[in-house]
Amino acid sequence: MRDLVDPVDPVVDAAEAAPFEDAGEYRAAVERIRGAAEAYYSGSDLAMDDATYDGLMARVLATEATRPEWKEAGSPTEAVGAGGGVVGDIVHSEPMLSLDNVFGEDELRKWAERLEKILGRPVSGYTVEPKIDGLAIAARYTDGVLTLVATRGDGFAGEDVTAQARRAAGLPARLRQPVTVEVRGEVFMTDDDFVAAQAMRTGNGEPPFAHPRSAAAGTLRAPKRPYDAPLSFLAYSVHGIPEPMAQSAAMAWLAELGTATTAYSLCATVEEVKAAVEAITAARGTLGYGVDGAVVKADQPADRAGAGSSSRAPRWGVAYKFPADTRTTKLLRIEVQVGRTGVITPVAVLEPVQVGGVIVTSATLHNFEDLVRRNVRAGDTVFVRRAGDVIPEVTGAQLDLRPEDSEPFEPPAACPRCGGEIDRSQKRWRCTQGRACGANISLEYYVARTSMDIEGLGDRILQAVVTAGLVTDPADLYDLDVPTLAALERLGDVSATKLVNNIQGSKSRPLSRVLTALGVRMMGRSMSRRLAAHFGTMDALLAASVDELQRVDGVGPERAVTIAAELVELTPLITKLAARGVNMTEPRGAAPAASASALPLQRADGSPMTVVVTGAVPGLTRDEGNEAVERLGGKPSGSVSKKTDLVVVGDGAGSKATKAEQLGIRILPADRFATLLQAHDAGDQDAVADILA
């Protein structure tokens, strides 16, 4: 996990956040937070993404620290769930609190140090659990029978959601022992159930859910609906027992009672906590449900009692937050792509945005039926979700922000590649030409000079062999013989022989050429060379996991996922080419040029440039801006001095920009910086060099 090995500024740090300069702005922010929290906990449309919410909250906290006289009674900074939870009439046996957040290893350490200071002794062990991205409930059992389920509400009283909660998988109607206890845990929706819930909901003419968590909240709080979206439950604490238990013992007991429980690790030291958080980070995305962090808790009841709680959150536990998996951004346009097999899909082209720690520039819109149902349009502010190693998806649009002149999306009437008819009999539309639809284009690409470099095989001959049905994919080229070609094109034996020799001769090209020739998306010439040099053989490349692909310079998570998916799709063709005798290895010593591995913000000697980001960078929060600097090989800094190498200046930049000018330090406009980041992530060395030239 990057944060742990390489600590950077926390994403949200109240001490770092800029306080509001006038009371009116402060009050407006408080109102926005209240509104957002209300929407968030009620399960209706999200008003903003979590990063924006957390950023706003940090500024409000900073303002309250510097201008305590402005602070309102009942400020959202002091209330459970910012006071946005729907209060019901079920009074909790003991308050259901929020958790304080830490972002990164440094803050985790500080939190643990503070806890030891409060206790005046070392903490006797921690548990680390995944932080399930759902909503908290309290489930009361009487003599082992489920009788009442309530939401967190304002922390003191919540709503009765017994009827809907009974349907949550993992929350048994009867425990295995006839005990009277209160079980608390998270109700959430798995990724698969979310897909099913979206279909049910839009199928009923209702707008889609923005996120699995709002789907879970909306479903749990819903009065009877004509459809029942599936819910799940994982327990993480037990209450109303005579003697408080260690957290680890409580989890074991909950499992014995028959409730589903979150996984946990028992850790003796902060070092071990770190490792456990790292393990959860690594597993995130493979769990099949949303995890927005890790929860670290003092294990022993004595430590918990010693630390106590504030009105909002316990001091004995903390949430280690992960980068958000859902963000909002602008949908620039909707492109229609035709795949190799003729599948036609809509793809969202997005203003770059960081989701789950990755810059995302495009996302799937699934299929046309779905797109029309979701009513997403170019110009919309959309929610983009990235769950682990899957292609990011647009889950929905923020309809209140839709531009007035926006137009509904028109699905294509004909195949955008060949103009042929579209087969709409299935959800996934296809060009009726199937594989033949793209044959000409992929053949031209295959034989091109920068690919397999097959001389003499021009458009005319390619067209002829395709039309004659002799060739549908590049591997078929190797079956062409002299008599066939000579007859077809009246080439004459000499020319036909030469052509066949050229085709056969291409079999010995290095792997990097083969990779280029396949026309893999997000894998141009220089990327093909790097992959070939790194893996050496096609087999090794095909066997590489998404993680292993990312070890190659310039391959970020988005690219790794695309390349892996593309290679799977291309495997039949690759096998066919290998069977024809096409070389699938890279000669040793064909390593890419050294410059390819240097990062853009490194000095000539390889040391990091000192870079100050001031003002807004499009698509990034300030901390993401600093993270981006690190990713590009630089060292982020907060102040401009003679030692600064580069200052990135965006909207709202102030004295730092002026100072940079005075000192004659190089200035890069923020939009250029965003483009640089994109080019770097896309492995486009030329564009990177252009921007920094």
Ligand X SMILES: NC(=O)c1ccc[n+]([C@@H]2O[C@H](COP(=O)([O-])OP(=O)(O)OC[C@H]3O[C@@H](n4cnc5c(N)ncnc54)[C@H](O)[C@@H]3O)[C@@H](O)[C@H]2O)c1
Q: Indicate the annotated binding residues for Zn(2+).
A: 415, 418, 437
Least separation in angstroms between residue 672's CB and Zn ion is 38
The footprint of Zn ion on residues 405-444 (CB under 5 A) is 415, 417-418, 420, 431, 433, 437
The footprint of ligand X on residues 316-375 (CB under 6 A) is 319
Which residue is associated with the tokens 């005579």? 242
Mark whether 131 is an active-site residue: yes
40 binds, among ligand X, Zn ion, none (CB under 5 to 8 A by kind): ligand X
415 binds, among ligand X, Zn ion, none (CB under 5 to 8 A by kind): Zn ion
Structure tokens at 580: 């024809």
Structure tokens at 300: 């022993």
Least separation in angstroms between residue 33's CB and ligand X is 8
Strand partners, 383: 328, 396
> What does the per-residue mask of binding to ligand X show for 429-468, with x meaning CB under 6 A?
----------------------------------------
111 makes contact with ligand X (CB under 6 A) = no
Q: What CA–CA distance (Å, rounded) separates 390 from 677?
A: 21
Q: What CA–CA distance (Å, rounded) separates 692 from 667?
A: 11
Interface stretch with ligand X, choices 34-42, 110-118, 247-255, 625-633 (CB under 6 A): 34-42
Least separation in angstroms between residue 437's CB and Zn ion is 3
Which residues are within 8 A (CB) of 255 and not within 5 positions of it... i.e. 6 or more apart? 261
Structure tokens at 489: 């094109």
Per the annotation, where are the binding residues?
Answer: 50-54, 98-99, 129, 152, 186, 297, 321, 415, 418, 437
Q: What CA–CA distance (Å, rounded) separates 279 from 1?
A: 9
Binding-site size for ligand X (CB under 6 A) equals 26
Q: What share of the chain is helix, strand, coil (3-state, %, to 5)?
A: 40, 20, 40
431 binds, among ligand X, Zn ion, none (CB under 5 to 8 A by kind): Zn ion
Residue in 110, 117, 131, 576 annotated catalytic: 131
> What does the per-residue mask of binding to Zn ion show for 437-476, with x meaning CB under 5 A?
x---------------------------------------
Interface stretch with ligand X, choices 98-106, 225-233, 510-518, 574-582 (CB under 6 A): 98-106
471 makes contact with ligand X (CB under 6 A) = no
Least separation in angstroms between residue 348's CB and Zn ion is 21
Q: Which helix (H) or strand (E) holds 55?
A: helix 50-66
* Cα angle for residues 357, 360, 366 (degrees, 5° grid): 120
Listing DSSP states for 277-334 in one string gives: HHHHHHHTTTSSB-EEEEEEEE-SHHHHHHH-B-SSSBSSEEEEEPPPSEEEEEEEEE
154 makes contact with ligand X (CB under 6 A) = no
Structure tokens at 17: 């956040």
* Cα angle for residues 594, 595, 597 (degrees, 5° grid): 75
Amino acid identity, residue 44?
S
**No. of helices (H) and no. of strands (E), the chain:** 24, 22
Interface stretch with ligand X, choices 46-54, 337-345, 533-541, 655-663 (CB under 6 A): 46-54
Any idea how long the chain is? Answer: 693
Per the annotation, where are the binding residues for NAD(+)?
Answer: 50-54, 98-99, 129, 152, 186, 297, 321
Interface stretch with ligand X, choices 94-102, 348-356, 435-443, 502-510 (CB under 6 A): 94-102
536 makes contact with Zn ion (CB under 5 A) = no
- CB–CB of 157/92 below 8 Å? yes
Q: Beta strand 358-364 with 343-355: parallel, antiparallel or unpaired? A: antiparallel
37 makes contact with ligand X (CB under 6 A) = yes
Q: Which residues are catalytic?
A: 131
Which residues make up the interface to ligand X (CB under 6 A)? Answer: 36-37, 40, 46-50, 53-54, 81-82, 98-99, 101, 129, 131-132, 135-136, 152, 186, 236, 262, 295, 319
